[in-house]
Amino acid sequence: MLARFASRRFFASYEMITSEKLDNVGLITLNRPKALNSLCAQLIDELTACLSEYDSDPSVKAMVLTGSKKAFAAGADIKEMSVKDNVTTYKENFITSWDKIAQTRKPLIAAVNGYALGGGCEVAMMCDIILAGDKAQFGQPEIKLGTIPGAGGTQRLVRAIGKSRAMELVLTGDFISAEEACQKGLVSRVVPEDKVVEEAIEVAKKIASFSSPIVMMAKECVNEAFESSLRNGLLFERRLFHSTFGFKDRKEGMEAFLERRNPEFKDE
């Protein structure tokens, strides 16, 4: 499926994920097949470490996160959670480290097949773009376990699909299909399940063809819209827009447009 992508370089230092570089795109695959990629502490530690590595690697300009055809991630590791109490979770600041996924500066695309439930849905929502295979399912079924979402499920879901729809999913624990998720605005688009990773890499490569610092600024601005008022968001956007005029890539992009040629961005 990925044979036509050149410059593959594999990293073998992880046990519960695999990672490889495809030219200037970092591909990370969750790899706990027997547990449907349930999100235990070790997996999250490895994932955030790998994301940090790619985020600081100047040769990587965008990232793709995926799982298996059966499950992107079926949720947090229930066995690991079941033995904890409230004192332990508070002292450990349990699952706060998951926030590092959303804090990547470079674009992160989720390529989702199969189940994206509970923590799996939350991790997908931490990504910047979600592409879903046509058999994917999304949901926040924590209510069925006597708890609630704890990694942003009640917050990001509301911002993605609205209060009433989010409330229904959180309070019933029901799943929705990829098509429903797309219609509600949770995912960007739906593609055949055997093409979703390839399509996500294509999107990542397109993003990676632009100026990396400008891409990161654009990502900051869109995220600011989630977290501020319109007035503050507009001011934030305008200040970053003004700052792009100090970049050589902005000058190159506009000159290339006027000269009717393709720009040659140098991340400067």
Annotated active-site residue in 67, 114, 118, 119:
119
Task: Give yes or no: 76 in active site.
Answer: yes
Q: Of 207, 210, 232, nearest to 221 (Cα)?
A: 232
Q: Which of 26, 120, 142, 150 is catalytic?
A: 142
d(CA 43, CA 40): 5
Instruction: State yes or no: is 139 an active-site residue.
Output: no
Q: Which position has the token pair 């792009």? A: 244
β-strand pairing of 129-133 with 189-191: parallel
208 belongs to the catalytic site: no
For tokens 């033995």, name the residue: 83
Which pairs from 81-84 meet CB under 8 Å and 24+ separation? none
Count CA atoms closer than 13 A to 65's CA, side-chain side.
Answer: 31
* Beta-carbon count within 10 A of 96 CB: 11
**DSSP 3-state assignment of 20?**
strand
Two tokens at 155?
Answer: 């917050």
Strands 71-73 and 8-11 turn out to be unpaired
Active site residue 122: yes
29 DSSP assignment: E
The Cα 109–Cα 100 span in angstroms is 15
Catalytic, out of 74, 76, 110, 208: 76
Q: 40: alpha, beta or left, given left = phi > 0 and alpha = psi -120 to 50?
A: beta
Report the interhelical angle of 212-227 vs 230-243 (nearest 10°). 170
Catalytic annotation, pick one of 62, 73, 118, 122: 122
The Cα 97–Cα 9 span in angstroms is: 27
Residues recognised as catalytic: 76, 119, 122, 142
